Structure 1
């Protein structure tokens, strides 16, 4: 009986050890952090300065900014181990996982996260099919709701993106192009329709099509970061989610996260839709 009890205790101890709560010692002394939608150090500091300080305090690890010039540079930085953790949109994650070893961390679930096509209220355009031969303002290459999904929506409506429409990737200039009627429609995020109306309150606009809700944004770790470190960081973010989300919102630079929350139920299958979208619109992931 004593021998059986000893074996049982040993088994229990081993099981407990395998499920032990990870701590900061499992991580590098510095975690280099980037955002695929932020360009340059100045904007990183302005947007995420408070979040950086809060996360550093919570983790007990120095969180250091890694500035990038664009989405492609961010993906390359991860590939060459220049950055440890990236906040990415669904499209960027689809590209990252196709090119290299990356690990999914926690996500951010946003409200009103989808794509929409908007036209002037007096336009004779009432459906996506009516956009044939028209000029369309979109965001920038690789933007989930401002490029990939709008392009997919046009394709699913039977339009050839190269022959039937003129899609212009204008980034922030897409609003002015729409207001000035330099384009016939704007295909961008659902929230961008509200931005358009805020910038031009005297205008009258009409949404002609809207997508389903998109997969969540997420934090992505380079493959070399241990599972134990990822578990520790995830635990701390989820335990302090409200405070960390407030620190992201307080500078006023990330309004897209108003009403958002941290989540830890992400699956790889959630992002397969984006991978399929890239294939359907003829854009290589790798």
Structure 2
């Protein structure tokens, strides 16, 4: 079965999975959700290969569970309707407070950081030069396009809620607004911006843009377990992922929308303390309790 699965996936022959010790009964079923994918059809398209391989490696039946929003995922965790959820950093800190979730494994992404971009000929050379000017950010609540850039400005001594005029628009609109001079700067996920907006902008030379601030690498997307999930099951899943990381990463990357994970590495040692920067960012934007999702 596994060899057929690899063949269907287009993976190299000869790979094998290390099954976690112990056998699972038919009742050993876990329900797996992803917060940024709506609809079961989309979830299956992006994560069924990963779920199938994870089931083979862990000895657990893995059922994909579709959620309509991050709020729905948090409520499903609290109601024990879903067991494991893959979510983003901004969502994690709220879920941890709402549902007392347990970190299982991080989905480590290279070059995952926020940046402040200006036009190279704008005369703006640092964040301090943005005081009183308009800065465009991504959707409210976005880890890398809102929280990260806001905290980045704060790291450079600005009060992003009062020292700049902020606006929230789609990243494509923000990119064009920057070129026209409608905004002085944009706060972005640097890798997404370079891969999408800058790379596809054939009318503008890459040298026309300038990075005036680069934040630290952000905490990564994270697989969490509900408070109701037995610790032994959490450990079994973590071990299965750790022992079969290459195959499981290849399965993740079959999804078209999962290309943000290119170059990823599973981080089984992920800890709650790794997400303090996001908690600081919530405080910076005026939500120090991070008890609710912003932007809903």
Q: Does the pair score TM above 0.5?
A: yes
CA contact (8 A) 1:113 1:190 kept: yes
| Cα deviation code 1:59-114 (max 9, x no counterpart) | 33332222223333322322232321111222222111122221111112211111
* Match for residue 174 of structure 1 among 162, 171, 174: 171
Unaligned runs of 5+ in 1: 1-20
Match for residue 185 of structure 1?
A: 185
Cα deviation for residue 257 of structure 1 reads 1.1
Match for residue 83 of structure 2?
A: 84
* Match for residue 214 of structure 1 among 212, 215, 218: 218
Match for residue 11 of structure 2?
A: none
Q: Which has the larger radius of gyration?
A: 1
Whole-Å Cα distance in 1 between the matches of residues 90 and 261 of structure 2? 17
Does the C-alpha gap of structure 1 residues 26 and 280 become closer, same or farther in structure 2, counting only changes over 3 Å?
Answer: farther
Unaligned runs of 5+ in 2: 1-19, 292-296
- Which shows bigger deviation, 187-196 or 222-231? 187-196
Cα deviation for residue 179 of structure 1 reads 2.1
Q: How does 1:142-181 map to 2 (within 5 A)?
A: 142-170=141-169, 173-180=170-177, 181=180
CA contact (8 A) 2:36 2:70 kept: yes
Does the C-alpha gap of structure 1 residues 141 and 84 become closer, same or farther in structure 2, counting only changes over 3 Å?
Answer: farther
The question of 1:285 aligning with 2:282 is answered no
Does the C-alpha gap of structure 1 residues 26 and 278 become closer, same or farther in structure 2, counting only changes over 3 Å?
Answer: farther
TM-score when normalising by structure 2: 0.80
- Which shows bigger deviation, 196-205 or 206-215? 196-205
Does the C-alpha gap of structure 1 residues 251 and 216 become closer, same or farther in structure 2, counting only changes over 3 Å?
Answer: closer
Whole-Å Cα distance in 2 between the matches of residues 53 and 176 of structure 1? 38
Aligned residue pairs total: 264
Whole-Å Cα distance in 2 between the matches of residues 26 and 184 of structure 1? 59
CA contact (8 A) 2:161 2:285 kept: no
CA contact (8 A) 1:23 1:229 kept: no
| Cα deviation code 1:145-171 (max 9, x no counterpart) | 11112111223334333333232333x
